[in-house]
């Protein structure tokens, strides 16, 4: 009798295998947002559109360099697949150097995104810090396309300095359209900047919304999200109505390798968007 168990591939294994293999995509257009930030619109080489929900991410591969998790920052109708990337290391650097026509690999979309349905008929508060506006832009596109389904919508955005503000012309357009309230602040500025200087939590103090009927979505550096969530609770929004998008290193992106573990959650599978109610005790654990 043989003691070696032979593993037979189940349909789920095949599905997982498919999700591990990058598909070929091509850069359609390129835009430089800031000195170290670029936005790429990509299209699938096979022409099959990728359907995704706001807050989901793709794994983008630069061949010969590596793979990185990048949020989708376009409108969630599958028509345009847009990623905004900040050059922080080898893979992100190579991604920001791609030009129209260049090929790259794409796996995804992955993860659970923002709770858009739960926000229907509520006031929506979008709190973004730095590059955190990228995954929230998909939400804004969705809201603007279905504006009547939502109450008062407010974008509060903090950046390091005026030059680092993402999507500047779009923000100006949103402001003028009066469809949403927009408040911006930067951490530091020279005297040419006519706007606010301070931190994004200060904007929360001044925002107008009905705390009993508001859903808040927060994305940015973890420290910023911790203080923003605390400020939202202070303004009497329930922790279960506050959602944060968490970031940890991703490898498989399909819940197998454990690289993205955050407490009991695999962020690639159970997140990256989770409620503050779930995250609050975990955020207190140092080095988690």
Per CB under 6 A, residues contacting ligand FAD are 57, 66, 68-71, 84-86, 88-92, 131, 134, 247-248, 250, 272
8 Å CB contact between 56 and 109: yes
β-sheet bridge partners, residue 25: 44, 104
- Rg of the chain, C-alpha, whole Å: 20
Q: Does 112 bind ligand FES (CB under 6 A)?
A: no
8 Å CB contact between 155 and 244: no
Q: Is the CB of 84 or the CB of 185 nearer to ligand FAD?
A: 84
Q: Is the CB of 47 or the CB of 194 nearer to other proteins?
A: 194
State the nearest-atom distance from the C-beta of 187 to other proteins, in Å: 5
Q: Is the CB of 45 or the CB of 223 nearer to other proteins?
A: 223
Q: What are phi and psi of 79, to 5 degrees?
A: -70, -40
**How far apart, in whole angstroms, are the C-alpha atoms of residue 282 and residue 234?**
19
C-beta nearest to ligand FAD: residue: 89
Q: Does 152 bind ligand FES (CB under 6 A)?
A: no
**How far apart, in whole angstroms, are the C-alpha atoms of residue 27 and residue 245?**
26
Options 83, 266, 272, 274; binder of ligand FES; rule CB under 6 A: 266
Q: Is the CB of 81 or the CB of 204 nearer to other proteins?
A: 204
Choose the contact partner of 43 out of ligand FAD, ligand FES, other proteins, none; CB within 5 to 8 A by kind.
Answer: none
Q: Hey, which residues between 222 and 251 contact ligand FES (CB under 6 A)?
A: 250-251
State the nearest-atom distance from the C-beta of 217 to ligand FAD, in Å: 14
Pairing of strands 273-275, 265-266: unpaired
Choose the contact partner of 28 out of ligand FAD, other proteins, ligand FES, none; CB within 5 to 8 A by kind.
Answer: none
State the nearest-atom distance from the C-beta of 157 to other proteins, in Å: 11
Q: Is the CB of 58 or the CB of 201 nearer to other proteins?
A: 201
Pairing of strands 23-34, 66-71: unpaired
Left, alpha or beta for 178 (phi > 0: left; psi -120 to 50: alpha)? left
Q: Is the CB of 34 or the CB of 124 nearer to ligand FAD?
A: 34
3-state secondary structure of 220: coil
8 Å CB contact between 123 and 66: no
**How far apart, in whole angstroms, are the C-alpha atoms of residue 85 and residue 57?**
12
Choose the contact partner of 71 out of ligand FES, other proteins, ligand FAD, none; CB within 5 to 8 A by kind.
Answer: ligand FAD
**How far apart, in whole angstroms, are the C-alpha atoms of residue 270 and residue 247?**
12
Q: Hey, which residues between 110 and 129 contact other proteins (CB under 8 A)?
A: 129
Binding mask 175-204 for other proteins (x = CB under 8 A): ----------x-xxxxx-xxxxxxx-xx--
Choose the contact partner of 70 out of ligand FAD, other proteins, ligand FES, none; CB within 5 to 8 A by kind.
Answer: ligand FAD
Cβ-count burial 78-109 (b if 16+ within 10 Å, e if not): eebbbbbbbbeeebbebbbebeeebebbbbbb
Tokens representing 56?
């989901």
**How far apart, in whole angstroms, are the C-alpha atoms of residue 183 and residue 196?**
9
Give me the residues that bind other proteins (CB under 8 A), please.
Answer: 36, 86-89, 129-131, 158-160, 164, 185, 187-191, 193-199, 201-202, 206, 220-221, 223-224, 227
């Amino acid at each position: 009798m043989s003691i070696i168990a032979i593993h037979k591939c189940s349909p789920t294994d095949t599905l997982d295998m498919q999700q591990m293999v990058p598909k070929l995509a091509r850069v359609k257009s390129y835009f430089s947002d800031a000195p170290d930030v670029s936005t790429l619109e990509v299209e699938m080489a096979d022409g099959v559109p990728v359907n995704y929900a706001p807050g989901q991410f793709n794994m983008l591969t630069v061949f010969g360099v590596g793979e990185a998790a990048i949020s989708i920052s376009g409108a969630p109708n599958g028509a345009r697949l847009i990623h905004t990337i900040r050059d922080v290391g080898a893979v992100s650097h190579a991604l920001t150097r791609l030009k129209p026509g260049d090929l790259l690999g794409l796996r995804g979309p992955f993860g659970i995104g923002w709770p858009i349905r739960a926000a229907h008929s509520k006031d929506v508060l979008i709190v973004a810090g730095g590059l955190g506006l990228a995954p929230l832009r998909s939400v804004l596109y969705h809201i603007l396309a279905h504006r009547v389904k939502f109450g008062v919508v407010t974008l509060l955005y903090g950046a390091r300095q005026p030059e680092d503000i993402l999507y500047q012309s779009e923000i100006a357009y949103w402001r003028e359209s009066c469809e949403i309230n927009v408040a911006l602040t930067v951490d530091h500025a020279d005297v040419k900047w006519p706007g606010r200087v301070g931190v994004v939590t200060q904007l929360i103090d001044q925002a107008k919304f009905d705390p009993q009927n508001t859903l808040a979505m927060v994305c940015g550096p973890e420290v910023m999200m911790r203080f923003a969530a605390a400020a939202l609770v202070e303004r009497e929004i329930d922790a279960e109505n506050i959602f944060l998008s968490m970031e940890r290193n991703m490898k498989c992106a399909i819940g197998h390798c454990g690289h993205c573990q955050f407490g009991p959650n695999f962020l690639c599978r159970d997140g990256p968007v989770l409620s503050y109610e779930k995250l609050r005790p975990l955020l207190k654990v140092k080095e988690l």
